Structure 1
């Protein structure tokens, strides 16, 4: 099973493309990570770079226990894999403006289930 940590920089909204190994093939996706200051949480939008089509919009970056931890669990039909926000360094709760990419990482892997 291929696993990759999506490269994130804490403290700022960001957009970039990233090639990920998913289900024995490489896919290139466009990511836009946005901080919701009112709700105090991060969300991600995902674009198919090849077709320039928005695939997912405003998916909250929350933590959880398996299987709920897979933020893409309801999108398995898209074939873009599974992803989870994983706390490291003893972090608790959900990522805030300054710790996404350091205390919390976004791990992308093959489609689960």
Structure 2
């Protein structure tokens, strides 16, 4: 099982493309991360790089415990893998504007049954 840390930089309204190993194949996705300042949380949109199809729109980046830790559990039918928000300081705090990409990372992996 391969895992990848998404290349997130702590900055406002970031977009990037990433090729991810999922279930022994590579998929390329476009990511858009936006920080909602009034609410104090990040959300992410994901687009298929090849087709331009919006797959997931405005997914809140919230910490959780297994099995709720998989941010993509409700999108399993897309077959784009699983993702979890992980804190390197060992707590389950919300990522702040400054912590996403530093002490809070998104770990991407294979699909989970």
Root-mean-square deviation (CA, aligned residues, Å) is 0.9
Over 4 Å off, 4+ runs: none
Q: TM-score w.r.t. structure 1 length?
A: 0.96
Does residue 35 of structure 2 align to residue 27 of structure 1? no
What secondary structure, in the 3-state scheme, does the structure 1 residue paired with 2:15 have? strand
Cα deviation, residue 91, structure 1: 4.5
Partner Cα distance (2:23, 2:76) in 1 = 11
Aligned to 2:109: 109
> Cα deviation per residue 1:25-54 (whole Å; 9 max; x = unaligned)?
000000000000111100000000100110
Partner Cα distance (2:77, 2:90) in 1 = 33
Structure 1 portions without partners, runs of 5+? none
User: Does the 8 Å contact 1:91/1:104 carry over to 2?
Assistant: no
Aligned to 1:6: 6
Structure 2 portions without partners, runs of 5+? none
Partner Cα distance (1:92, 1:73) in 2 = 18
Aligned to 2:48: 48
What is the number of residues matched between the two proteins?
Answer: 113
Partner Cα distance (1:80, 1:11) in 2 = 25
